[in-house]
Protein backbone atom coordinates (compact mmCIF):
# COMPACT_ATOMS: atom_id res chain seq x y z
CA UNK A 1 0.00 0.00 0.00
CA UNK A 2 1.33 3.47 -0.89
CA UNK A 3 1.98 6.08 1.76
CA UNK A 4 0.29 9.28 0.59
CA UNK A 5 0.85 11.21 3.82
CA UNK A 6 4.34 12.29 2.79
CA UNK A 7 2.78 14.21 -0.11
CA UNK A 8 0.11 15.89 2.03
CA UNK A 9 2.05 19.12 2.83
CA UNK A 10 2.65 19.73 -0.89
CA UNK A 11 -0.97 19.05 -1.70
CA UNK A 12 -2.20 21.45 0.99
CA UNK A 13 0.21 24.13 -0.22
CA UNK A 14 -0.88 23.63 -3.80
CA UNK A 15 -4.60 23.73 -3.02
CA UNK A 16 -4.39 26.73 -0.70
CA UNK A 17 -2.96 28.84 -3.50
CA UNK A 18 -5.79 28.06 -5.92
CA UNK A 19 -8.27 30.85 -6.47
CA UNK A 20 -11.58 30.17 -8.17
CA UNK A 21 -11.18 33.26 -10.37
CA UNK A 22 -8.17 35.15 -11.68
CA UNK A 23 -7.71 38.90 -11.36
CA UNK A 24 -8.80 39.33 -14.99
CA UNK A 25 -11.93 37.24 -14.40
CA UNK A 26 -12.80 39.27 -11.31
CA UNK A 27 -12.31 42.58 -13.15
CA UNK A 28 -14.33 41.57 -16.20
CA UNK A 29 -16.85 39.46 -14.36
CA UNK A 30 -20.32 38.73 -15.61
CA UNK A 31 -21.72 37.13 -12.48
CA UNK A 32 -24.68 35.66 -14.29
CA UNK A 33 -22.39 33.74 -16.66
CA UNK A 34 -20.10 32.68 -13.80
CA UNK A 35 -23.15 31.41 -11.93
CA UNK A 36 -24.41 29.62 -15.04
CA UNK A 37 -21.05 27.86 -15.45
CA UNK A 38 -21.01 26.87 -11.78
CA UNK A 39 -24.58 25.56 -12.00
CA UNK A 40 -23.75 23.57 -15.13
CA UNK A 41 -20.91 21.96 -13.14
CA UNK A 42 -23.17 21.12 -10.17
CA UNK A 43 -21.56 23.50 -7.73
CA UNK A 44 -23.50 24.45 -4.58
CA UNK A 45 -24.71 28.00 -4.02
CA UNK A 46 -22.08 28.56 -1.32
CA UNK A 47 -19.39 28.23 -4.02
CA UNK A 48 -20.04 31.97 -4.49
CA UNK A 49 -18.20 32.47 -1.18
CA UNK A 50 -15.03 31.14 -2.79
CA UNK A 51 -15.44 33.58 -5.69
CA UNK A 52 -16.05 36.37 -3.17
CA UNK A 53 -12.82 35.47 -1.39
CA UNK A 54 -10.86 35.22 -4.66
CA UNK A 55 -12.05 38.65 -5.82
CA UNK A 56 -11.80 40.39 -2.44
CA UNK A 57 -8.09 41.05 -2.88
CA UNK A 58 -9.01 43.14 -5.95
CA UNK A 59 -11.81 44.89 -4.01
CA UNK A 60 -14.51 43.40 -6.20
CA UNK A 61 -17.74 42.01 -4.78
CA UNK A 62 -19.87 39.52 -6.67
CA UNK A 63 -23.42 40.31 -7.70
CA UNK A 64 -25.13 37.53 -5.73
CA UNK A 65 -28.53 37.94 -7.40
CA UNK A 66 -27.08 37.75 -10.92
CA UNK A 67 -24.91 34.80 -9.86
CA UNK A 68 -27.92 32.90 -8.47
CA UNK A 69 -30.01 33.60 -11.59
CA UNK A 70 -27.24 32.23 -13.78
CA UNK A 71 -26.57 29.28 -11.49
CA UNK A 72 -30.25 28.29 -11.57
CA UNK A 73 -30.13 28.36 -15.37
CA UNK A 74 -26.93 26.27 -15.32
CA UNK A 75 -28.51 23.71 -13.00
CA UNK A 76 -31.05 22.96 -15.73
CA UNK A 77 -28.12 21.60 -17.77
CA UNK A 78 -26.58 19.74 -14.84
CA UNK A 79 -29.68 18.21 -13.28
CA UNK A 80 -30.44 15.74 -16.05
CA UNK A 81 -30.65 11.98 -16.12
CA UNK A 82 -27.69 11.75 -18.50
CA UNK A 83 -25.48 13.92 -16.27
CA UNK A 84 -26.55 11.87 -13.26
CA UNK A 85 -25.51 8.73 -15.14
CA UNK A 86 -22.12 10.25 -15.94
CA UNK A 87 -21.51 11.24 -12.31
CA UNK A 88 -22.69 7.84 -11.07
CA UNK A 89 -20.55 5.95 -13.57
CA UNK A 90 -17.57 7.83 -12.14
CA UNK A 91 -18.62 6.55 -8.69
CA UNK A 92 -18.25 9.94 -7.08
CA UNK A 93 -20.47 11.57 -4.53
CA UNK A 94 -22.17 14.77 -5.63
CA UNK A 95 -23.47 17.93 -4.00
CA UNK A 96 -27.23 17.73 -3.76
CA UNK A 97 -27.95 20.86 -5.78
CA UNK A 98 -30.82 19.78 -8.02
CA UNK A 99 -34.28 21.13 -7.29
CA UNK A 100 -37.39 18.95 -7.68
CA UNK A 101 -38.43 17.48 -10.11
CA UNK A 102 -34.98 17.52 -11.79
CA UNK A 103 -33.50 15.95 -8.64
CA UNK A 104 -35.44 12.72 -9.26
CA UNK A 105 -34.25 12.56 -12.88
CA UNK A 106 -30.64 13.19 -11.85
CA UNK A 107 -30.79 10.50 -9.12
CA UNK A 108 -32.41 8.03 -11.54
CA UNK A 109 -29.45 8.48 -13.90
CA UNK A 110 -26.99 8.48 -11.00
CA UNK A 111 -28.21 5.09 -9.78
CA UNK A 112 -27.96 3.64 -13.31
CA UNK A 113 -24.41 5.04 -13.48
CA UNK A 114 -23.54 3.45 -10.14
CA UNK A 115 -24.83 0.13 -11.49
CA UNK A 116 -22.47 0.51 -14.46
CA UNK A 117 -19.58 1.45 -12.18
CA UNK A 118 -20.27 -1.60 -10.02
CA UNK A 119 -20.37 -3.86 -13.08
CA UNK A 120 -17.04 -2.39 -14.21
CA UNK A 121 -15.50 -2.92 -10.77
CA UNK A 122 -16.81 -6.48 -10.56
CA UNK A 123 -15.45 -7.30 -14.01
CA UNK A 124 -12.06 -5.76 -13.21
CA UNK A 125 -12.02 -7.58 -9.86
CA UNK A 126 -12.76 -10.87 -11.61
CA UNK A 127 -9.99 -10.23 -14.12
CA UNK A 128 -7.48 -9.30 -11.42
CA UNK A 129 -8.46 -12.30 -9.31
CA UNK A 130 -7.95 -14.54 -12.31
CA UNK A 131 -4.50 -12.99 -12.88
CA UNK A 132 -3.75 -13.52 -9.20
CA UNK A 133 -4.61 -17.21 -9.46
CA UNK A 134 -2.36 -17.64 -12.49
CA UNK A 135 0.54 -15.84 -10.80
CA UNK A 136 0.09 -17.93 -7.67
CA UNK A 137 0.14 -21.08 -9.79
CA UNK A 138 3.25 -19.84 -11.57
CA UNK A 139 5.03 -19.18 -8.28
CA UNK A 140 3.89 -22.54 -6.89
CA UNK A 141 5.18 -24.25 -10.00
CA UNK A 142 8.56 -22.57 -9.68
CA UNK A 143 8.61 -23.21 -5.90
CA UNK A 144 12.12 -22.43 -4.71
CA UNK A 145 12.92 -20.65 -7.96
CA UNK A 146 10.46 -17.84 -7.29
CA UNK A 147 12.34 -14.58 -7.36
CA UNK A 148 11.45 -11.35 -5.61
CA UNK A 149 9.97 -9.92 -8.78
CA UNK A 150 7.25 -12.60 -8.99
CA UNK A 151 6.54 -12.29 -5.27
CA UNK A 152 6.26 -8.50 -5.61
CA UNK A 153 3.94 -8.86 -8.60
CA UNK A 154 1.76 -11.21 -6.58
CA UNK A 155 1.59 -8.77 -3.66
CA UNK A 156 0.80 -5.89 -6.02
CA UNK A 157 -2.03 -7.90 -7.59
CA UNK A 158 -3.46 -8.74 -4.16
CA UNK A 159 -3.39 -5.01 -3.32
CA UNK A 160 -5.19 -4.20 -6.57
CA UNK A 161 -7.90 -6.76 -5.83
CA UNK A 162 -8.27 -5.29 -2.32
CA UNK A 163 -8.58 -1.76 -3.74
CA UNK A 164 -11.24 -2.95 -6.19
CA UNK A 165 -13.15 -4.52 -3.30
CA UNK A 166 -13.00 -1.21 -1.38
CA UNK A 167 -14.19 0.70 -4.46
CA UNK A 168 -17.08 -1.74 -4.76
CA UNK A 169 -17.98 -1.13 -1.11
CA UNK A 170 -17.98 2.64 -1.75
CA UNK A 171 -20.27 2.21 -4.76
CA UNK A 172 -22.63 -0.03 -2.74
CA UNK A 173 -22.74 2.62 0.00
CA UNK A 174 -23.53 5.42 -2.49
CA UNK A 175 -26.21 3.29 -4.15
CA UNK A 176 -27.88 2.55 -0.79
CA UNK A 177 -27.69 6.21 0.19
CA UNK A 178 -29.44 7.50 -2.92
CA UNK A 179 -31.72 4.55 -3.62
CA UNK A 180 -33.52 5.15 -0.33
CA UNK A 181 -34.42 8.76 -1.25
- pLDDT attached to residue 147: 62
CA distance 102 to 177: 18
Average pLDDT of the segment spanning 128-140: 71
Confidence of residue 140 (pLDDT cuts 50, 70, 90): low
Residue 167 has pLDDT above 60, yes or no: yes
pLDDT per position as a tens digit, 116-129: 888 888 878 777 77
Tell me how long the chain is: 181
Is residue 102 within 8 A of residue 75, CB to CB? The reply is yes
Domain residue ranges in the chain: 20-78
User: Please, which residues have CB within 8 angstroms of residue 79's CB and are 6 or more apart in sequence?
Assistant: 97, 98, 99, 102, 103, 105, 106
CA distance 57 to 21: 11
- pLDDT attached to residue 159: 79
- State the distance between the two ends of the chain, measured CA to CA, in whole angstroms: 36
Residue 97 has pLDDT above 60, yes or no: yes
Query: What are the counts of helices (DSSP H) followed by strands (DSSP E) for the chain?
Result: 8, 0
Buried b / exposed e along 10-45 (16+ C-beta atoms within 10 A): eeeeeeeeeebbeeebbeebebbebbbebbbbbbeb
Is residue 106 within 8 A of residue 98, CB to CB? The reply is yes
- pLDDT attached to residue 131: 74
CA distance 26 to 63: 11
Q: What is the pTM of this model?
A: 0.64
Residue 8 has pLDDT above 90, yes or no: no
Ranking 24-33, 58-67, 109-118, 138-147 by mean pLDDT, the lowest is 138-147
Residue 39 has pLDDT above 70, yes or no: yes
Mean pLDDT score across all residues of the chain: 80
Residue 6 has pLDDT above 50, yes or no: no
Amino acid sequence: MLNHTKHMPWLILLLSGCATLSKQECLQSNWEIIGQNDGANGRPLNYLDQHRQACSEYRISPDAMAYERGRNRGLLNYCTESRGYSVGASAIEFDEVCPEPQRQEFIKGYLRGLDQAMADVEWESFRKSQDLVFKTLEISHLKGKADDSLTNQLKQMRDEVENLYERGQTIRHLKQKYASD
